Chains A and B, each alone.
Chain A
């Protein structure tokens, strides 16, 4: 605007941003009324009023429950109180965010008015509000669901780690109490926990690294082989190689479990005994063989995805690169090392990281194959149990909820820390930001 209108400038000159701020702190919406944004102000007033009327009691009760976890055994259900408490906490955070937004909004607008800003017409206001809030509106349904499915359970389990919720302290008969860091302490000091944790942890790392690397290596190897220009029937071969991915994993794992059965499984009966004699290998009852079997199964299940992904990338590498390399007299190994490998790895890094993360948490294979067995002396987890299947057992078999929560937190920190570190290193993360 080149010629600012004089009259409104004078009229609003005395408008005080501090008054607007204080008013909106007193009660949401008052500041907006002072700014003469009547519609917005009434909406805020309505929201706060409704909130106070509907939620105040519930919130109060919820936060009380969160603090005490109930006081009368048999009447107060500690875990239900904890759930209500977490929900109240979430609602409070949302309310506080809205409140802060309301205050900031009132202050900002008051400042603008003081500077002689002319309020837009009603239609324009609506349009501006719509444009401004559009991204919030369209993300709201997703965010709402995520709060209940991702955030709420996570908070709940975080808090459980600091309670003594187990078989002996389980509602409704008994109350659950806050115990601070006791669970973490006993995980690292009580011998049975310490030993089990250590051995399960080591196996989890071995499992994640070996199984994932094998499936990536095999997928990569086969993708390069099939991509060779001398190979014919490419389409048919690719279809066959993708088959394990296409068949539901749930089914194949259970099938493998039957095939690896010590007594009547097909692997022993039809392959091992006819070829090597003897009584066959105890796939399900010897920890070492169980581990080998499980890694082989995961490789079988996991390589097709990598194969398919890498095939796509290989086809997209420009032929010019290889021609230029040929001209320089590069050997096949050199070409692979300097062109193929970096291209493929660079392009798929985030997805590969997720492969590692998902194997770290690969409950299905471990549990459906052998329920984490065989049992191992001196610890309360089985021989193939990884952290997540151990947590499952602690939760649903022995009801040691608080310990399960402690281990969940440790696992989550490891995986997400690793993933965060890797995400930051990849290009895609750095390019974030500008629109």
Chain B
């Protein structure tokens, strides 16, 4: 076998593998879309290519009977607040850890990272009682505060790793020009760290959108539901009965999110790789 045919065979094998993987990737996704277009609510009579195509579930979601839009709004509020808040908080923490000497600098972040590996279930009990005490139970504010606090160690570690790659000579130069620490932070580091900050913003935008556990404990009234909670309730009680409705609701949120992700993936990966590997 000549090396040329061998090479061709190899390439063919590569494409074959990729084709199989693609099928496995697309199958459940297309299946969900197919489900959402089926009439009726029974999973049993539904199929991936609907016999009786209908948009009834989508229409229902936007009808006054459903709280879907309200949940969508709640989720977006939490997601935006978390994204903005976490960028601000983490950037400051990472700046301190990257550029200043202070007590706890050397091990502080690692200690928090390790502490966070303890499972959160019991923490939920504590947070529940605590939120109840300060009157933030069943509120989006309480939810946001917990997300904000919980994300700091990992993201600060990520951003610090990125800050560390920015040469300190830049700071020195700015300092000689008379810039204070805030000024250096604002006009030297932040512009250069945009990629990693975008990653942090995106991660923290996404995380609350589909977190299920925490909202299910913190939030109890239906008008405060986030999407994950609401969607889960479609199928929670009688699994098969509302699956098609769940599918429709999921498609409406998964499509925009997947689109954003795919557009930003390059940004995302380069930021993650450079922050995470050198941190």
Contact = CB atoms under 8 A, between A and B. Distances in A.
Interface of A: 79-80, 83, 86-87, 131, 134-136, 138-139, 141-143, 145-146, 148-154, 156-157, 160, 222, 225-226, 228, 230-231, 237-252, 254-256, 258-259, 261, 263-264, 266, 270, 300, 308-309, 311-313, 316, 347-348, 350-351, 354, 357, 361, 363-364, 368, 387-388, 391-392, 395, 401, 404-405, 408-409, 411-412, 415-416, 419-420, 423, 428-429, 432-433, 435
Contact of B93 (A142, A261, A312): A142
B265 A308 contact: yes
Interface stretch (B51-59, B63-71, B246-254): B246-254
B122 A157 contact: yes
B213 to A, nearest CB: 6
B114 A312 contact: no
Contacts of A245: 261
B119 A388 contact: yes
Nearest to A131: B181
B248 to A, nearest CB: 11
Interface in B28-42: 28-29, 31-32
Given A258-B239, A388-B119, 15 more contacts: A83-B133, A131-B181, A138-B93, A139-B93, A242-B261, A248-B209, A254-B246, A264-B240, A312-B270, A312-B273, A348-B276, A364-B212, A408-B121, A416-B118, A419-B114
Nearest to B217: A396
9 contacts: A142-B93, A149-B146, A153-B120, A156-B125, A222-B18, A250-B232, A363-B213, A408-B122, A411-B119
A282 to B, nearest CB: 16
Which label, helix, strand, loop or mixed, suits the secondary structure of the A interface? helix
B273 A313 contact: yes
A60 to B, nearest CB: 18
Interface residues of B, number: 96
Given A259-B31, A350-B277, A157 B123 contact: yes
- Pick the 6 closest A-B CB pairs, nearest first: A149-B149, A412-B118, A153-B123, A157-B122, A145-B149, A246-B261
Given A256-B28, A391-B122, A308 B149 contact: no
B2 interface: no
Contacts of B190: none
Contacts of B120: 153
B48 A395 contact: no
Nearest to A270: B48
B43 A151 contact: no
A146 B153 contact: yes
Nearest to A389: B121
B210 A142 contact: no
A240 B161 contact: no
Contacts of A146: 112, 149, 152-153
Contacts, number: 266
B101 to A, nearest CB: 6
| Residue of B10, B209, B279 most packed against chain A (CB within 10 A) | B279
B240 A392 contact: no
Contacts of B150: 149-150
Contacts of B127: 149, 153
Contact of B14 (A145, A154, A228, A311): A228
A430 B187 CA distance: 30
A83 B124 CA distance: 12
Contacts of B26: 240, 243
B115 interface: yes
B278 interface: yes
B113 interface: yes
A150 B115 contact: yes
A316 to B, nearest CB: 8
A251 B32 contact: yes
A73 B43 CA distance: 51
Interface in B49-103: 89-90, 92-93, 95-97, 99-102
Contact of A240 (B17, B25, B235, B250): B25
A405 B213 CA distance: 18
B175 to A, nearest CB: 11
Nearest to A300: B24
B101 A157 contact: no
Given A139-B96, A309-B272, A348-B276, A248 B18 contact: no
A222 to B, nearest CB: 7
A89 to B, nearest CB: 13
B11 interface: yes
Contacts of B110: 420, 423, 429
B31 A266 contact: yes
A83 B31 CA distance: 47
B218 interface: no
A244 B100 CA distance: 40
A70 B63 CA distance: 52
Contacts of A263: 44
B116 A150 contact: yes
A136 B7 CA distance: 60
Contacts of B235: 254, 258
Contacts of B269: 308-309, 311-312
Contacts of A225: 14, 17-18
Given A251-B254, A312-B273, A419 B14 contact: no
